[in-house]
């Protein structure tokens, strides 16, 4: 046996155990990595489920508010003896219930949300008649966006509850949707008397609810704020433009 062959056999005898040992170490490492990834994936799934449950809870908190306000509006019509208006208002209110009990995704089309809110506005229009003016301004580049359900409804409801209900004489409500690059901005303003307390102390549960729901859905920048501009109270909601409901 030549010296070269003998040397190769010696190196092979030494190298194979070393290679086997390294292989076992690598297998142990990859097994630990796999376990770690499985734990991470499980944690992410649990976080998503917790977010989903929190979102649903927040979503449910909104619904009793507009139902109470709608019923209160119809009671006001009944006290005034406007029975025909009460019948029409009940038809509009039935659309609330139809929308409420349809299973919805975390995001709905803005057009769907606007159509739903229009039923509430119809009831208020019957109630206040010519005293109420509603202005709608929709940027065509923003119209296809999606948003969490009840966002527009909540902002409009707050405008009546905290502003227009207290306003004597002419009442004005404005709804504007605008595209700003990769984001959209929804503004709801009213010419009510405005809050007696500082704006920072009057946002209430509805706006905080929307703020939390937007943050749960989107990983990008969102904003909800309340301000007083001239004679109007303005609420802004900003979220990423999502034309197909993709987060």
Three-state secondary-structure class, residue 170: coil
Say how far apart CA 33 and CA 164 lie, in whole Å: 60
Confidence grade of residue 30 (pLDDT, cut at 50, 70, 90): low
Residue 88, pLDDT > 90, answer no
Q: What is the pLDDT of residues 148-178, one digit of tens each?
A: 888 998 899 889 988 998 889 999 999 999 9
- What is the pLDDT at residue 170? 94
Looking at per-residue confidence, does 235 or 148 come out higher?
235
Say how far apart CA 245 and CA 145 lie, in whole Å: 7
Residue 223, pLDDT > 50, answer yes
Angle between helices 3-79 and 151-162 (to 10 degrees): 40
Looking at per-residue confidence, does 127 or 43 come out higher?
127
Q: What is the pLDDT of residues 105-117, one digit of tens each?
A: 778 899 999 998 9
Confidence grade of residue 100 (pLDDT, cut at 50, 70, 90): low
Residues 6+ apart with CB under 8 A from 214: 148, 222, 224, 237, 239
Residue 5, pLDDT > 50, answer no
- What is the pLDDT at residue 89? 85
Percent of the chain at pLDDT > 90 equals 30
Mean of the pLDDT values across residues 209-219? Answer: 86
Most confident stretch, 36-40, 125-129, 187-191, 243-247: 187-191
């Amino acid at each position: 046996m030549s010296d070269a062959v003998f040397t190769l056999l010696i190196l092979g005898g030494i190298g194979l155990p070393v290679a086997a040992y390294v292989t076992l170490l690598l297998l142990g490492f990859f097994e630990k990595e796999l376990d770690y990834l499985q734990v991470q994936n499980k944690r992410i799934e649990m976080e998503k489920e917790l977010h989903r449950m929190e979102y649903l809870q927040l979503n449910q908190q909104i619904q009793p508010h507009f139902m109470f306000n709608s019923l209160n509006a119809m009671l006001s019509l009944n006290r005034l003896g406007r029975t025909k208006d009460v019948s029409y208002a009940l038809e509009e209110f039935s659309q609330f219930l139809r929308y409420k009990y349809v299973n919805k995704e975390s995001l709905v089309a803005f057009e769907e949300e606007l159509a739903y809110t229009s039923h509430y506005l119809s009831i208020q229009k019957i109630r206040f008649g010519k005293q109420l003016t509603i202005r709608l301004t929709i940027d065509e580049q923003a119209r296809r966006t999606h948003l969490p359900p009840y966002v527009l409804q909540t902002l409009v409801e707050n405008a009546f509850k905290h502003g227009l209900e207290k306003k004597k004489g002419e009442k004005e409500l404005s709804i504007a949707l605008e595209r700003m690059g990769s984001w959209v901005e929804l503004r709801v303003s009213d010419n009510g008397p405005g809050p007696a307390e500082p704006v920072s102390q009057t946002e209430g549960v509805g706006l905080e609810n929307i703020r939390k729901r937007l943050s749960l859905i989107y990983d990008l920048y969102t904003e909800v704020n309340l301000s007083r501009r001239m004679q109007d109270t303005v609420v802004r909601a900003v979220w990423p433009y999502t034309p197909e409901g993709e987060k």
